[in-house]
């Protein structure tokens, strides 16, 4: 009996990386991810601090770059030079009672006491101890100028027991400037960390009297479900035809550049949390390749009216309340005009100069916050802990390359991208933008339109 000829089996359609066709086939096993370590910096030279990063059991983590940022504690208690009254209304304090250093560097109403200063219709007197003590919190606080941080860094992969350098390295030599004004340092070769392994990071402080929280971040991606790292294979995973992840040099009418924008109203209250969520449209998937951000401040001018234009007798009630919340200082270019030769505040000032003398400390380049990103389609966080904006995204004034994800992140149609922000400093509208492209018509798991 002659056997019937077998019909040839249909060959699966593969993308450029050899993966089966289907929307998100390449994206389901590869997730862009950041691991961060935090260090409490005390300002004592030689102090050693360490932190441990625990790799998730979900899969192998591949680190491709490293960066860092410093969330400095700039606030200092401010003692006002008062006389003998036991109580005083804060808005009645004159500029001549403020230390000259506070007027030059900047001061503001302590966020902890804003309700006491601005929360009632008629300002109420407060105890003198909240205004002129040298210890403990005061109603007013001085904001020192940001400082560069210096430290020595060493990293150990505890799974293999290997150091990643022969001796602790200086941060400027190995990572670049701390304000985020640099491309994130790419590792010479991607390094894989096994599931459940740990990475130990240790720093040795080198900056005197600089306090705050230091973030060191490893940027990369997680291979979900992998117990080892087929790095050459992962480099070829570029996505199926329905959702190609890499499109450079491959123009298509179905792929259009697109940005998803999240916005947050920052109130200037430290530790206040806000969140926003965007929904990926149903017309197709979205591939995020980079992230950027910026702060739009409501106003930077300080409108004041001095009685007789005399600076030394001006009261805080002459300033807008929101300016005292943001923090104010004498413009650096006007310091010589504001002080007399003996160091005292100037007397009479031209009326046009009085309105230009001060500036707000709420500047876009000084915004500070921590953020987390959540992929609602997969139900996954994209970092192991909240990250500082400078450490995770770069400098706040826009003078940087936009942060490129180690692997383009595929968000499925109708999925959500949720971002949560924890305020540290700054007031206004914060924009966090996911830059990438949309794949029109990729609506189903089979790639069919």
Residues 271 and 134 in one domain: no
9 assigned to some structural domain = no
One domain, residues 381 and 417: yes
Are 182 and 205 found together in one domain? yes
* Same structural domain, 201 and 344: no
Q: What is the pTM of this model?
A: 0.82
Residues 275 and 179 in one domain: yes
Residues 357 and 371 in one domain: no
pLDDT in tens, 123-165: 667 777 777 766 667 888 999 888 889 999 999 998 888 888 9
Flag whether 1 is in a domain: no
User: How far does Cα 117 stand from its chain's mean position?
Assistant: 30
Sign of the CA dihedral 309, 310, 312, 314?
Answer: negative
Judged on CB neighbours under 10 Å (0-12, 13-18, 19+), 86 is: exposed
Domain limit, last residue, from 361, 393, 413: 361
Q: Of 338, 361, 384, which closes a domain?
A: 361
C-alpha to C-alpha distance for 231 and 60, rounded to whole angstroms: 10
152 in the same domain as 230: yes
Please give the distance of CA 219 from its chain centroid, rounded to a whole number: 14
Provide the residue range defining the domain that includes 431.
30-73+147-297+365-440
In this structure, what DSSP letter does residue 301 have? Answer: B
Strands (E), 101-184: 107-109, 126-127, 140-143, 151-157, 162-163, 169-170
Q: How many domains does the chain have?
A: 2
> Is 331 contained in some domain?
yes
Q: Is residue 47 part of a domain?
A: yes
Q: Are residues 193 and 152 in the same domain?
A: yes
pLDDT along the chain (449 residues), means of 10: 48 39 49 95 95 94 93 88 69 85 91 81 72 74 89 92 90 87 84 92 94 95 73 48 48 78 94 96 89 90 72 84 91 86 77 80 93 94 96 87 87 94 95 91 47
Residue 14 domain flag = no
Are 287 and 304 in the same domain? Answer: no
- For residue 370, list its beta bridge partners: 388, 422
The neighbouring-strand residues paired with 192 are 62
Residues 301 and 179: their CA atoms lie apart, in Å, by 25
Closest CA to 60 of 160, 168, 182, 196: 196
**Domain edge (last residue) among 308, 330, 361:** 361
pLDDT value for 224: 85
Q: For residue 357, is it within any domain?
A: yes
Answer whether residue 113 is part of any domain.
yes
Alpha carbon distance 384, 415 (integer Å): 21
Pair 123, 92 in one domain: yes
Asked if the structure places residue 137 within a domain, the reply is yes
pLDDT in tens, 68-91: 999 999 988 888 877 666 557 887
User: Do residues 370 and 217 make contact, with C-beta atoms less than 8 angstroms apart?
Assistant: no
Is the domain of 50 the same as that of 174? yes
């Amino acid at each position: 009996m002659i056997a019937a000829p077998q019909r040839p089996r249909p060959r699966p359609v593969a993308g450029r990386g050899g993966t089966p066709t289907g929307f998100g086939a390449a994206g389901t096993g590869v997730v862009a991810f950041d691991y961060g370590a935090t260090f409490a910096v005390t300002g004592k030279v030689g102090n050693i601090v360490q932190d441990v990063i625990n790799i998730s059991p979900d899969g192998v983590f591949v680190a491709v770059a490293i960066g860092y940022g410093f969330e400095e504690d700039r606030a200092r208690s401010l003692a006002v030079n008062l006389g003998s009254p036991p109580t005083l209304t804060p808005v009645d304090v004159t500029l001549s009672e403020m230390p000259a250093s506070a007027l030059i560097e900047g001061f503001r109403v302590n966020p902890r006491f804003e309700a006491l200063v601005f929360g009632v219709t008629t300002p109420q007197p407060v105890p003198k101890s909240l205004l002129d003590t040298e210890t403990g919190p005061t109603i007013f606080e001085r904001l020192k100028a940001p400082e560069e941080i210096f430290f020595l860094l060493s990293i150990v992969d505890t799974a293999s027991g290997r150091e990643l350098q022969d001796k602790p390295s200086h941060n400027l030599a190995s990572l670049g400037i701390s304000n985020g004004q640099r491309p994130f340092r790419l590792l010479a070769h991607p390094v894989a960390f096994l599931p459940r392994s740990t990475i130990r990071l240790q720093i040795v402080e080198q900056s005197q009297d600089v306090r705050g929280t230091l973030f060191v971040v490893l940027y990369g991606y997680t291979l979900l479900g992998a117990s080892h790292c087929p790095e050459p294979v992962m480099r070829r995973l570029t996505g199926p035809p329905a959702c190609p992840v890499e499109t450079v040099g491959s123009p298509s009418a179905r792929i259009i550049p697109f940005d998803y924008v999240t916005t947050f109203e920052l109130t200037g209250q430290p530790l206040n949390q806000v969140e926003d969520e965007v929904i990926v449209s149903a017309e197709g998937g979205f591939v995020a390749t980079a992230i950027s951000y910026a702060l739009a401040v409501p106003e930077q001018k300080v409108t004041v009216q001095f009685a007789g234009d005399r600076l030394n007798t001006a009261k805080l009630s002459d300033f807008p309340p929101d300016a005292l919340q943001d923090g104010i200082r004498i413009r650096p270019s006007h310091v010589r005009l504001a002080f007399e030769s003996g160091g005292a505040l100037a007397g009479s000032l031209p009326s046009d100069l009085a309105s230009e003398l001060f500036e707000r400390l709420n500047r876009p380049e000084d915004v500070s916050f921590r953020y987390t990103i959540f992929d609602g389609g997969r139900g996954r966080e994209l970092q192991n802990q909240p990250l500082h904006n400078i450490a995770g995204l770069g400098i706040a004034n826009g003078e940087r390359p936009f942060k490129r994800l180690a692997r383009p992140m595929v968000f499925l149609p109708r999925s959500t991208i949720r971002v949560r922000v924890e305020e540290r400093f700054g007031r206004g509208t914060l924009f966090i933008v996911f830059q990438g492209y949309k794949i029109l018509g990729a609506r189903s798991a089979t790639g069919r339109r």
